[in-house]
Amino acid sequence: MVCLTLEEERRRISDLIDDLLNGLKKIKKEFIASKWDDIEKLRMELRFLRTFVLFRNWNLDDFYDKMLLNIEKLKDLIDTIFNEDEFIVAKYNMDSLPSYLRKEINSYLRLKNVANIITEENMFEYTDSLLKNLHDLPKYCSDLLQPLMSEYNILRQVCTHLRDFYQLKCNKTTKEFLYAWYRMTVDRVTQFCFDLWTGKYKNYGYEYAFSECSSKITSLLIDIIPLELEVLHISTSKLIKESTSKELEGLVKQILKASPRILQNNLIHLQRRMEVAVDVNYAPTRSISVMMEFLLIFLTDMPKRFIHREKLNDMLAHAGMLTRKISFLVIKLLEEISEDNINEADFSAPDFLQEIEQMKGDIRHIFLKAPESSQLRFPMDDGFLFMNLLLRHLNDLLIANVSSVTLIKKEIRMVKESLEFLTSSFGKVRKTLDGTSGVVKDCWLHALDVAYEAEHVINSILVRDKTLLHLVFSLPNVTDKIKLIVAQVTSLQLEDKNGDEPLDAKSSHESIVLTSSPFVEVTVGHEEEEAWIIGQLLDEHESELDVISIVGMPGVGKTTLANKVYNNTLVASHFHLSYDHLPCHLKPLLLYFATTQKSQRTPVSTLMQLWMAEGFVDHDSLEEVTQSYLDALISSNLIMVDHIPSESIWWTSTMIKVCYMHDVVHDFVSVKAENEKFFKLINSGDHASDLLHHRLTIYTDYEGELCNKCVLCKFIKCSAVSKYLLSLRVRSSVYKYRYIHHTRQLRLLKVLQLDDFIVFEDSLMKEIGSLFHLRFLSIKTDMKAIPESWVNLQNLETLLINPGFSPFVLLPRILKLSKLKYASVCLSSFFDEEEEDNIRLLEGENSKLKTLSKVDISYSQGTNDALEKFPNLEHLDCTIIVPKCPPKHGDWFPRFDVLNKLQSLSLNYHKPRYYFCNPIEYHFPTGLKELRLFDIPMRPALLSAIVALPQLEILEINYCNFVMDKWDASEDIYQSLKTLRLACPELSEWEVDRETFPKLEELIVENCFMLMEIPYAFGYIDTLKSIRLVQNELELRDSAMKIKKDVIDFTGEDRLHVHISSMYLP
């Protein structure tokens, strides 16, 4: 028997693995396609095996035992493939290879006493093998790594750069200094790969495994990035640049070429860590955040044309030095945060702001020439509307918690203050500007051009479109232009005060610019009727509004006649005048109705949320101010109000307030909105010619993808749209999973609404985290929890999610959304069922949520603690999951009484199929005003808890059963109740005293087929105004009419209204 040396044993195993890999590659085409995945998996297993057998590391956790298990798994996989067709295996002489390989590996692994064979000499070979494993892992553990690919790709790239640097034959002292650090890093990456290959996390739940994997990658990056930056620093030092070695020179050039990407990836990672750890406006770290933002812009938009190559290389080296400094500061910050001992002075870094200004000056000298000054022209009609909306946009930028804004916050504030001055100055002479000429009007038009240019430049910087050019050249240029206009207007005002030609010297009548209707109908006849209607509408002697109805049989031309009247020049001018006379702050609210369909009823609550999200309302007392704006539009008769049954709570008769607009007025605002670049509708088949609007609604009703015609949905061409787009809605009548390919370019979006037929994939859900300005989000997704990247959505106020058929976990990340006020997430729950420690998820600040809908609340550890994290809740719609195995103490009902601000509560029960135990107590907040119950057993304890609510005004009992079908309320007093609704209850006997409901105003009884009589005591309630009966037995109706008759006989007044119908009508 020949005894082989250790190195010969290693080489034999390596050759056998190579032969098997090459053979598998050859025989793959011989097998049917269904076996290809198995063959690729076997090839991956062999590559992992090569790394951990040939470069075995006994320091790895449970190395020997886990290796034996994986070798057995490899054997099973080989048997599965090779037994499929022995002829193919024999054809390529591979039938004996697997058995030889297993024998050699087992023999090799038994040499436990042999020291670790990874040396400085074979480290490159080992690292190269490890990189192949890193390449395979995303396919090998796709469920864990696919959601983490952005961080994982950085890890792979960093490891690749380090491997390349390791070849450098540079200064010995430097090599010795880095080798120990490098070796420790490689060992940590090896352990990470080994854990995933051997399935360390497979015995745990997915959420725990995912969390562990994510934290491991983050920990590795925190350790590796400083090493990589040190390597980059050495690579760009004079010691290496002056080397005469050709090999060394080539490798240095390779690293230098990759250095912008290296620094960029590191900064992105550090930025993410900072965003998770501290608020972007945290004063002590603001300079660090601004510096990172500037360096990312520089590295992304490095000039392609420059004067001096050496100057650019020096700046790259300087950027590397600054990145190293940032890296050390961020690592130190994270350490101090974990120890809850932050020394704020350590992170102020005031020199960073000076560095930025110095680098800007250097960049100006690198470019061959400055870009040509832009010649943008204001493209809209209503200059004051544009100024109003631009000022609101700039104000929103200033108050947003967004790091990209911080870099140019000083310039944004200067532009905003200057435009406020100009708008105020010209607003005083607004009526004299139209139809005139001269210095004043020329100055106003020039101000509009420059303001439009300022919007373009600022937005270009924020969406990363030629950012460096705009930051260094365009932004200073446009601010200088604004300063000149401000000086000119100030001079005109001084002339006015000195008695010279005043700012408002010229005046004329307002000229009305009419816009043709989008439709044209040519008809013969109706001339007399048309003339009469126009005469009535324009009659100056009429003191009151005149409403004229056009009636007749179908097909006689009623609609055509109405359109002819509307299109008449004299009539249409009145629509324009009504719009022109609106205050500036109401115009965008009116134009917003162009985003709705004709005759569409929009809930007032949704409309107000959208208005606030768009920034149409000042941020102080948002709800109150928005309501006052709405009332002003209603009083102007431009919009109308209605009440319809709620669709969101289908099992109640809750009426919601909705707004809509007459079709004729809708036509007017639609044309006006498009002319002002305020809104554009894109239908299926439309060509995407002009998309430079601030709001878009895209509608598609066919299987193809509209993105083939819409530049919005094409990533490469998206920058032009993204500089203006603030609101996007996509509507579809068919399911689409790949409708939008990217969202990260749409960085200025405040509102994103995707109908339920548009399903967002996981990658896009994570990309949403880059939409820092987002305030209103409505989407459908298959994800099971809020992505970690959403921690950036610090301006989000409204969140509407339809997760399909999968439960959606809210905690802990919903607590990170600091401005969130309204959330409706179907099938949502506080905790993951597999989570073992719920309490640890409740760390951090309390939520500011005011409305939370469609959440499932189950009895579990931490449920009541979770409720305490929402102290600002005013409205809660939830389903209580009744426990199959309730606790022995019986007190499993959620502690809603901790919600001191709760005003409205809707409760649904989800019960086990068979027997379940009712809670012994019910906990409601004493300030509750509205309570809606669905399918909840009306036990005495529950009724007693409801009676004890002193401020309860609305009580709805839906599909609930009473004990023995009886409700005895004769001894109870519901002291504040105004509305009582019973719908489909199991109730046959009802006893009420005249004092039971002392303030009741409305009684609604629906589908109560077991109840034969309304208690007579209702006739003695003085406050009762109406009884509404829907689909009930005749006896019940008769009893209601008898009560009405008795009230008339007793009081002499017909004050009680009884409504009887076969269906519910408002």
Print the SS3 string covering 35-72.
HHHHHHHHHHHHHHHHHHHHCCCCCCCCHHHHHHHHHH
- For residue 161, count CB atoms less than 10 angstroms from its CB and return exposed for 0-12, middle for 13-18, buried for 19 or more: buried
Pairing relation of β-strands 695-700 and 727-732?
parallel
Taking each helix axis as running N to C, give the angle between helix 309-338 and helix 286-300, from 0 to 180 degrees, rounded to the nearest 10. Answer: 140
Q: Which of 658, 678, 702 is the last residue of a domain?
A: 658
Same domain, 1042 and 968: yes
Task: Answer yes or no: is pLDDT of 817 > 80.
Answer: yes
Q: Are residues 533 and 634 in the same domain?
A: no
| 985 in a structural domain | yes
Give the range of the structural domain holding residue 527, as residue numbers without chain letter: 518-578
Q: Kindly state whether residue 600 falls inside one of the protein's structural domains.
A: yes
> Which residue type occupies 23?
G
**Per-residue confidence band for 508, with pLDDT thresholds at 50, 70 and 90:** very low
Query: Does 565 fall in a domain?
Result: yes
Domain annotation covers residue 396: yes
Q: Dig out the tokens for 995 from the structure.
A: 């004092």
Which range among 39-43, 116-120, 224-228, 585-589 shows the weakest confidence by mean pLDDT? Answer: 116-120
Question: Could you tell me where the DSSP H helices lie in 525-684?
Answer: 527-537, 558-567, 569-580, 587-591, 604-614, 622-635, 663-675
Contact between 251 and 168 under an 8 Å Cβ cutoff? The reply is: yes
What confidence score (pLDDT) does residue 915 get? 67
What pLDDT is recorded for position 476?
A: 93
Question: Does residue 376 have a pLDDT over 60?
Answer: yes
| pTM, to two decimals | 0.77
Find out whether 950 and 921 touch, Cβ atoms under 8 Å. no
Asked if the structure places residue 394 within a domain, the reply is yes
Q: Output the pLDDT for position 55.
A: 73
Dig out the tokens for 344 from the structure: 């704020």
What is the structure's pLDDT at 703?
52
Reported in sequence order, the residue ranges of 608-724 that DSSP labels E, i.e. its strands, are 640-645, 655-660, 680-682, 695-700
Q: Do 407 and 482 belong together in one domain?
A: yes
pLDDT, residue 545, reads 47
Query: Which of the four pLDDT bands, split at 50, 70 and 90, describes residue 201?
Result: confident
Q: Are residues 387 and 486 in the same domain?
A: yes
- Backbone φ and ψ for 853, nearest 5 degrees, come out as -125, 150
Find tokens 């002003």 and name the residue.
Answer: 632
Hey, which of 217-231, 804-818, 1042-1056 has the most confident mean pLDDT?
1042-1056
Question: Do residues 542 and 587 both lie within one domain?
Answer: no
With a cut of 70, say whether residue 454 has pLDDT above it. yes
Of 578, 605, 630, which marks where a domain is finished? Answer: 578
Q: Which of 323-327, 345-349, 742-746, 890-894 has the lowest mean pLDDT?
A: 345-349
Question: Is there a contact between 783 and 808 (Cβ–Cβ < 8 Å)?
Answer: yes
pLDDT in tens, 853-867: 999 998 887 889 999
Cβ count near 464 (within 10 Å): 19
Residues 573 and 589 in one domain: no
519 or 1065: whose pLDDT is higher?
1065
pLDDT of 512 > 50? The answer is no
Dist. CA 718–CA 742, nearest whole Å: 9
Nearest to 332 by CA among 321, 322, 344, 320: 344
Q: Does pLDDT of 938 surpass 90? A: yes
Of the given ranges (343-347, 869-873, 995-999), which has the lowest mean pLDDT? 343-347
Query: For 760-795, what is each residue's pLDDT tens digit?
Result: 777 788 889 889 899 999 998 888 899 888 888 989
Residue 415 CA from chain centroid, whole number = 29
Q: What percent of the chain has pLDDT over 70?
A: 76
Residue 711 included in any domain: no
Q: Are residues 452 and 480 in the same domain?
A: yes
What 3-state class would DSSP assign to 713? helix
Place of tokens 């200094």: 177
Same domain, 493 and 548: no
552 lies in a domain? Answer: yes
- Rounded to the nearest 10°, the torsion over CA 726, 731, 734, 738 is 0
For residues 467 and 553, membership in a common domain is answered with no
More confident residue, 896 or 699: 896
In whole angstroms, give the CA distance from residue 851 to residue 873. Answer: 6
Within this chain, do residues 483 and 523 fall inside the same structural domain, yes or no?
A: no
Pairwise CA distance, residues 410 & 85, whole Å = 73
Among 658, 680, 705, which residue terminates a domain?
Answer: 658
What is the pLDDT averaged over residues 960-989?
95
Task: State the total domains in the chain.
Answer: 4
Report the pLDDT averaged over residues 419-424. Answer: 95
CA dist., res. 30 & res. 315, Å (int): 56
Task: Classify residue 411 by its DSSP letter.
Answer: H
Burial of 571 (0-12, 13-18, 19+ CB in 10 A): middle
Ranked by mean pLDDT, which of 527-536, 562-571, 677-686 comes out on top?
677-686
Do 470 and 535 sit in the same domain of this protein? no
Which helix (H) or strand (E) segment is 585 a member of? Answer: none
Looking at the chain, the whole-number percentage of residues with pLDDT higher than 90 is 32
Instruction: Mark whether 550 and 639 lie in a shared domain.
Output: no
Specify the DSSP element, H or E, that contains 823.
strand 822-829
Amino acid at 781: T
Torsion of CA 837, 841, 846, 847, to 10 degrees: -120
* CB of 756 closer than 8 Å to CB of 732: no
Does residue 374 carry a pLDDT above 70? Answer: no
pLDDT digits (tens, 9 = 90+) for 205-216: 676 788 788 878
Residue type, 490: T
- The single-letter code of the amino acid at 753 is Q
Instruction: Please indicate, yes or no, if residue 1038 is contained in any of the structural domains.
Output: yes
